[in-house]
Chains A and B, each alone.
Chain A
Amino acid sequence: MKKKIVSLVMVAAMAMSMVACGSSSDSGDSAASTGVSITVLNSKTEIQTQFEDMAEEYEKATGVHVEVYNADTDTTVASQVATKYASNDPYTLTMVDAKDIYSLADDYAYDLSNEDWASHTTLGIDVNGKLAGFPVCVEARGILYNADAIKEITGEDFDPASVATLDDFKALLDKLVAGGMEAPVGILSEYWSLGAHWFPMVYEEQEDPDAFVNSLLAGEADLAGNEKYNELMDTFETLVAYNYAKGSASNADREETSMMLAEGDIAFMFGGNWDWSVINQYDYTENMGIMPVPQNTEDGTNEMLVGGGSKYFFVDSSDATSEEERQAALDFLNWLVSDPEGNAFLTEQCALVPAFDNIDASALDPLSLSVKSYADAGKLVPNYNYLPDDHMTVVGQEIMQKYLDEAMTRDEVATSVVDYFKSATPIAH
């Protein structure tokens, strides 16, 4: 009897699994009404749900099936793309970072310069004469502030322009501390934040970033005595001094820091408009924004955010993608820029700052609105995209995390960074 039951269960389990297989392939067939199907790799994981919903709507409207894949969390986008190319099964549309466009464009990117949207943006990426990257959005870095939390203590409306210099910023921090906010600052300890967002400002805000990085690579630059380096490090030291996670700063949790900012337990955090997707999970206020990193400087960078185009689509040019699929991918990119539905997807559903001048962006979140206003005013220091690949891990994790924990002095940071550049592999560009 017992045996019979066991075998019945086995049969049932088998039948279930076959039914499951069958139904999934069915739905794939019936959905593709035009028969064209494109695959998209989405490496902005925070918009995956919106992307999938949009793909369904898009299919209803155009009959083109869009299969959206989320970038794996346990691997890098570059390695995921590499795997797909190695198995000759690339995505039709792949979303990567600016840096990856340069390494992929020659072999795999289709020339987009004849597309209608090309004239509406200045942020596309050209590689060797072809327009290879479609800018998904504009992102910029600076200091995030919670104006409500500041007003509650100071009693006045917060004006970011009033703390452009480090001295003024410090005065405000002291006021906040005196008013009962024990530690008004949060610093993300993740190595990408320190090594790919904070420290690169030292190069990006130089007069000629490329020349400066090249002189570092040649071992000729005097980093410790560099004015920009010291201005930014002065500010960083101030942030460290007022950091709520002082004592275990290199272990601060991103979620927790963002939550504290959203709820007004801290007033400032270094970050960018992408942090909104974390902040809006909590009990946030609309009175937030991004302001330039305060610095005692004369060069005007303390009135500008740092950033530009972020995340780029490229269309696969290899034989693995058919003409038809490629055209569908191109149509999709056009739809994003020129169709109101496409615009709404970018600005309303995903809260991205559009990189195209014909898109209305008034529905954006407060952080993105800040970025948009700086971008429209031309107050963005451009990203520097040619840092050696291991800059983020070496400078971010091995050097800046120590500095964040006050386990390293400013001179030691300069020496280690200079040493690092001596053996770093330059990016050809």
Chain B
Amino acid sequence: MKTNTLSYKIKQYLIFAGLTTFIFASVVLVPFVYGLYLTFTSWDGVSLSKPFVGIENYVNAFADTSYWQSLGRTFIYSAIAVILVNAVAFIIAYMVTSGIKGQNFFRAGFFVPNLIGGIVLGYVWKFVFNKALVELAETITSGHAKSLLATETGAIAALIIVSVWQYAGYMMLIYVAGFMSVSEDVIEAAKIDGCTGSQSIFYISIPLMTASFVQCLFLTITRCFMVYDVNLSLTNGDPYGSSALAAMHVYNQAFINKNYGTGQAEALILFVICAIIGGIQVYVGKKGEVQA
């Protein structure tokens, strides 16, 4: 049986990957291409007619200052959230792998926030910020306290706090796996050579865990850029639309303002930005990986 003919190769491919290719195409590729087509129409989202308008939607998207403002906010939010999520996750991971009592319990505990849906989580935290914390502050200062969610920077800060709370546990799991994958022998060898605790973390564990960092950074960056659910239930853009992040702006543009084409074009721009940042980050990260 010849194994290097084209038909054989196609058959082999279809047998092993045919079904997945079909599913991938029907739920990702086709909608993506169709979505791309919609960015060239002035469709309102429901009507039967989809008039072709060329690049008008992209012109509108570039002229939409509130879109670029929301994108700017998203950059700031993502930068801070990504750093905090990973720092917190790494520290927690270090602590729950260092052999403290009940570390499995802690691992589970820190992971739980990730199991709560974004919408629910947003409402829960809204209550915490608006009621519990205000009540607490008023008792301490015995004066009038303003909720964090009522100020423009406060609302973004609140979003960051909630994101860190939500994602840190998940990223912690990946870092825990990273810590476990560093072999005991290497650590022991380092100790014999005279490494202190912190030296062995910075010079041995971290370089060997680069893969975990690449993964965590990629996940957090893309998640932060695309965040919508927490944004919706926690702030819904309040106050004054100052906390609407890019995904929310895109959604509102498409479905509340009924500029479906423009919204779709803005979504595509957001996707391209995300893809570029994610791609660069993974490429740079991979280059830095080392083998023990």
What distance in Å separates the Cβ of A249 from its nearest Cβ neighbour in chain B?
Answer: 8
CB-based A-B contact count at 8 angstroms: 86
| Residue numbers in B under 8 Å from A389 (CB-CB) | 256-259
Of B45, B130, B240, most buried by chain A (CB within 10 Å of CB) is B240
Nearest residue, chain B, Cβ from A245: B150
Asked if residues A250 and B240 are in contact (CB atoms below 8 Å), the reply is yes
List the B residue with the shortest CB-CB distance to A397: B241
Does residue A123 face the partner (Cβ distance < 8 Å to B)? no
Supposing A103-B46, A398-B240 touch, asked if A74 and B255 sit within 8 A by C-beta, the answer is no
Q: Contacting A393 at CB < 8 Å: which of B239, B254, B257?
A: B257
A107 CB contact (under 8 Å) in B48, B239, B258: B48
Which parts of B43-101 form the interface with A (CB within 8 Å)?
A: 44-48, 66
Residue ID in chain B nearest A100 by CB atoms: B46
Segment at the B interface, from A78-86, A127-135, A203-211: A78-86
Q: Which residue of B lies closest to A189 (CB)?
A: B238
Closest to B154 in A: A251
Q: Residues of A contacting B229 with CB < 8 Å?
A: 74
Q: Chain A binding site: helix, strand, loop or mixed by DSSP?
A: helix
Chain B residues with Cβ below 8 Å from A390 are 252, 256-257, 259
B256 contacts A247, C-beta separation under 8 Å: no
From 394 to 414 in chain A, residues with beta carbon under 8 angstroms from any chain B beta carbon are 394, 397-399, 401-402, 405, 407
| Docked complex Cα distance between A394 and B119 (Å) | 24
Q: Counting CB contacts under 8 A, is A226 at the interface?
A: no
A78–B44 Cα distance when bound, in Å, is: 10
Q: Mark A320-359, 1 if CB is under 8 A from B, else 0.
A: 0000000000000000000000000000000000000000
Is B247 part of the contact surface with A, judged by Cβ < 8 Å? no
Q: List 15 A-B contacts (CB under 8 A).
A: A74-B229, A79-B255, A103-B46, A107-B48, A189-B238, A191-B237, A247-B144, A388-B257, A389-B258, A389-B259, A393-B237, A393-B256, A398-B240, A401-B241, A405-B150
Interface of B with A (CB < 8 Å)?
Answer: 44-48, 66, 119, 130, 144, 146-147, 149-150, 229, 232, 236-241, 252, 254-259
The 9 closest A-B pairs by CB, nearest first: A390-B257, A251-B150, A79-B255, A248-B150, A82-B46, A250-B239, A397-B241, A398-B241, A389-B258
Counting CB contacts under 8 A, is A75 at the interface? yes
CB pair A425–B255 under 8 Å, yes or no, is no
The reply to whether the CB of A76 lies closer than 8 angstroms to some CB of chain B is: yes
Q: Which residue of A lies closest to B232 (CB)?
A: A74
Instruction: Judge whether A78 and B255 touch: CB under 8 Å.
Output: yes
| Neighbouring B residues of A361 by C-beta, 8 Å | none
Answer whether A251 and B258 are a contact pair too, CB < 8 Å, given A82-B46, A103-B46: no
In Å, the complex CA distance between A405 and B237 comes to 15
Please give, as numbers and ranges, the residues of chain B lying within 8 Å of A248 by CB-CB distance. Answer: 146-147, 150
Partner of A81, one of B46, B66, B130, B149: B46
List the A side residues contacting B236 at CB < 8 Å. 191
**Given A74-B119, A104-B46, A401-B240, A251-B130 contact (CB < 8 Å):** yes
* With A247-B144, A389-B257, A390-B256 as contacts: A401 and B238 at CB distance below 8 Å: yes
Bound: A405/B48 CA distance, A: 42
Residues in B whose Cβ lies below 8 Å from that of A247: 144, 146
Question: Are A425 and B259 closer than 8 Å at their CB atoms?
Answer: yes
* Docked pose: A218 CA to B200 CA in angstroms: 70
* B49 and chain A: residue at smallest CB distance: A107
Q: A82-B45, A250-B240 are in contact. List 13 more A-B contacts (CB 8 A).
A: A76-B256, A103-B258, A248-B147, A248-B150, A251-B149, A388-B257, A389-B256, A389-B259, A393-B241, A393-B257, A397-B237, A398-B66, A402-B240
- Which residue of the partner chain, among A78, A107, A399, contacts B45 with CB atoms under 8 Å? A78
Nearest A residue to B127, CB-CB: A253
Nearest to B149 among chain A residues (CB) is: A251
Partner of B255, one of A75, A250, A398, A402: A75
- Our pick among B46, B146, B238, B239 for the contact of A85 (Cβ within 8 Å) is B46
Among B44, B46, B146, B150, max chain A CB count under 10 A is at: B46
In contact, B256 and A251 (Cβ under 8 angstroms): no
A392, CB-defined interface residue at 8 Å: yes
A397 B240 Cβ-Cβ under 8 A: yes
The answer to whether B147 and A251 touch across the interface, beta carbons within 8 angstroms, is yes
The complex places the Cα of A29 from the Cα of B232 at a distance, in Å, of 38
Q: CB-nearest residue of chain B relative to A425?
A: B259
CB distance from B66 to the nearest CB of A (A): 8
CB <8 Å contact, A107 and B238: no
A27 vs B252: C-alpha distance in the bound complex, in angstroms? 39
Tell me the minimal C-beta distance from B17 to chain A in angstroms.
Answer: 27
Type the 1/0 row for A211-226, where 1 means its CB is closer than 8 Å to any CB of B.
0000000000000000
Residues of B within 8 A of A106 (CB): 47
Closest CB-CB distance, A398 to chain B, in whole Å? 4
- Which of chain B's residues have a CB closer than 8 A to the CB of A405? 150, 239-240
Inside 8 A of A103's CB, which chain B residues have their CB? 44, 46-47, 258
Scoring B48, B255, B259 by chain A CB atoms within 10 A of each residue's CB, the highest score goes to: B255
Whether B47 pairs with A107 at a CB distance below 8 angstroms is yes
Smallest CB–CB gap between A74 and chain B, Å?
6
Kindly list chain A residues whose C-beta atoms are within 8 Å of the C-beta of B150.
248, 250-251, 405
Query: A73: which B residues are within 8 A, CB to CB?
Result: 119
Query: Given the complex, which residues of B lie within 8 Å of A392, measured CB to CB?
Result: 256
Which residues from 97 to 125 on chain A have a C-beta closer than 8 Å to any C-beta of chain B? 103-104, 106-108
Tell me the complex Cα distance, A189–B258, Å: 23
Q: What 0/1 pattern do residues 170 to 191 of A give for CB contact below 8 A with B?
A: 0000000000000000000101
Q: Are A250 and B238 in contact (CB under 8 A)?
A: yes
Q: Report the separation of the CA atoms of residues A253 and B134 in the bound assembly, to the nearest whole angstrom.
A: 13
A76 touches B48 (CB 8 A): no
Task: Specify the chain A residue showing the minimal Cβ separation from B34.
Answer: A86
Given known A74-B119, A74-B229, A390-B256, contact A251–B46 (CB-CB < 8 A) = no
Give, as a whole number of angstroms, the nearest-CB distance from A65 to chain B.
26
Residues of A contacting B232 in the complex (Cβ-Cβ under 8 angstroms): 74
Which residues of the other chain, A, contact B239 by a CB distance below 8 angstroms? 250-251, 401-402, 405
**Residues of B close to A85: CB separation below 8 A:** 46
In the complex the two chains form, what is the Cα distance from A250 to B238 in whole Å? 8
Q: Which residue of A is nearest B126, CB measured?
A: A253
Query: How far is B46's CA from A104's CA once the two chains are assembled, in angstroms?
Result: 7
Nearest residue (CB) in B for A247 is B144
